[in-house]
Amino acid sequence: MENEIKLTKLAKCAGCGAKVGAGVLAQLLEGIKVHTDPNLLVGFDKSDDASVYKVSEELAIVQTVDFFPPIADDPYTFGQIAATNALSDVYAMGGEPKLALNLMCVPEKMPREAVHALLRGGYDKVYEAGAIITGGHSILDEEPKYGLAVTGFVHPERVLTNSGARPGDVLILTKPLGIGTLTTAAKAGLCSDETMAYAVQLMTTLNKNARDCMVKYRVHACTDVTGFGLLGHSVELAQGSGVAIEYEVSRFRFIEEAIGLAKEGLLPEGMYRNRAFAECRVDAGEAELWQQDLLYDPQTSGGLLMAVDPEDADALMAELEGCVPAAQRIGRALEYGGGAYIRLR
Amino acid sequence: MKTVDARGHSCPIPVVMVRKAVTAEKPEALEVLVDNQCSVENVTRYGKSQGYSVDVAAEGADFRLSLKK
């Protein structure tokens, strides 16, 4: 019986909130020799969403892997969210997913129907993306985990990294924020069914449309907003690009119910990890505490954050409108003159 | 004074325990014990959202939060 097992109860942390902190990760990788190759267009060095390898003048492959513990109780939903999230890294590089491999950890006691439903969720999203699952690997584990390794294609000259933003670029985001807070509150039974259904809808919305719109315009940098939160990923983008970013806090769309929950301290541990990592590079200005908290909130399967040429910003916004969950023009990139990389105003 | 002992619990449980005590008894003052930084921050936010002032004191590896109206 699918409904008898509460998947999130089997997991210590939910979804992308389970990610090892950015600062910790850098320390863990320290001193490990990195080999390179002239055809490797994007590798370790820039903390990007996926690696990109040039096969020919016309073709580069994009590779990424993403998996996490349950963020939803329903296994089919969890499968969909994990797949949407894994596919997102390919979209963030401007690519199209082609092949995917399942990565699955399941407890022995998990009912066969539930495992089947989980996998079906993954397959459905991968097919929706126009890609195919060609196999995978499963192991027994007390805590369930699911995700995929995804391979995509991109033209080698149209790869979008998180380090190409230029001063003057307009920053656009495609999904509202607050997912981490909602899923934390849901664990305590403090998130309404209606809002949780909306959150699931957001987490299972592929970033395909956002990518398809974006590649028609002069987008200089892109990343997907996931475990490190909007500000964590923004710091990486700004620092990698050598620009500063100024955000207008009033332009962000937060999921309504997440605001009250953030004020009441129903914030995930990952939010505090993100804050600890990024805070010293962020000038929070007059932003209220709850606004800052939601800007650090880890997003599972969040939207794309794009830095677009200012001349193309209006046209891209118009095309995204109605095509993505929430097209928001949130700020702009500036010359970096020292100090904080991100300024909130 | 009422004390909520939320040690051994990770977020969001400590907030849920404090919330239950506040909703049920609407106390003028309340002490909360937690054992991790995330819970210190979250219970502080909750307390302030309900109109309490919050003082935090470290007690060994634990923390004692004093909520007062």
pLDDT in tens, A228-274: 999 999 999 999 999 999 999 999 999 999 999 999 999 999 999 99
Active site residue A16: yes
If asked whether residues A125 and A214 sit together in one domain, one would say no
Establish if A264 touches chain B: CB-CB under 8 angstroms. yes
For the CA atoms of A205, A206, A207, A211, what is the dihedral angle to 10 degrees?
Answer: -130
The ipTM of this complex is 0.94
Asked if B45 and A188 come within 8 Å (Cβ–Cβ), the reply is no
Res A5: pLDDT? 62
Is residue A163 assigned to a domain? no
Distance from CA of A326 to the nearest CA of B (A): 28
- The b-or-e profile of A284-305 (16+ CB within 10 A means b, else e) is beebeebbbbbbbbbbbbbbbb
Residues A118 and A186 in one domain: no
Contact with chain B for residue A288, Cβ under 8 A: no
CATH number (domain holding residue A69): 3.30.1330.10
Checking DSSP bridges between strand A342-344 and strand A243-247, what pairing results, if any? parallel
Tell me: do A180 and A149 sit in the same domain: no
Tens of pLDDT, residues A107-123 = 999 999 999 999 999 99
User: What total of structural domains would you count in chain B?
Assistant: 1
d(CA A176, CA A80): 19
pLDDT in tens, A73-93: 999 999 999 999 999 999 999
pLDDT value of position A130: 98
Put simply, the chain A residues between 31 and 90 with a CB less than 8 A from any chain B CB are none
Residues A144 and A192 in one domain: no
Q: Answer yes or no: is pLDDT of A327 > 60.
A: yes
Residue A165 within a domain:
no
Residues of A in contact with B46 (CB under 8 A): 264-266
Note whether residue A183 is domain-resident: yes
pLDDT one-digit tens code per residue, A12-48 = 655 555 667 667 877 888 888 888 899 999 986 667 7
What's the confidence (pLDDT) of residue A1? 37
Residue type at position A122: G
Residues A221 and A275 in one domain: yes
What pLDDT does A2 receive?
A: 39
User: Mean pLDDT score of chain A, rounded to an integer?
Assistant: 93
Cβ count within 10 A of residue A341: 24
Domain count, chain A: 2
CATH number for the domain that contains residue A233: 3.90.650.10
Instruction: Tell me which residue in A12, A187, A265 faces B45 most closely, judged by beta carbons.
Output: A265
d(CA A254, CA A251): 10
Q: Is A215 exposed, middle or buried (0-12, 13-18, 19+ CB in 10 A)?
A: middle
Among A158, A181, A211, the domain-final residue is A158
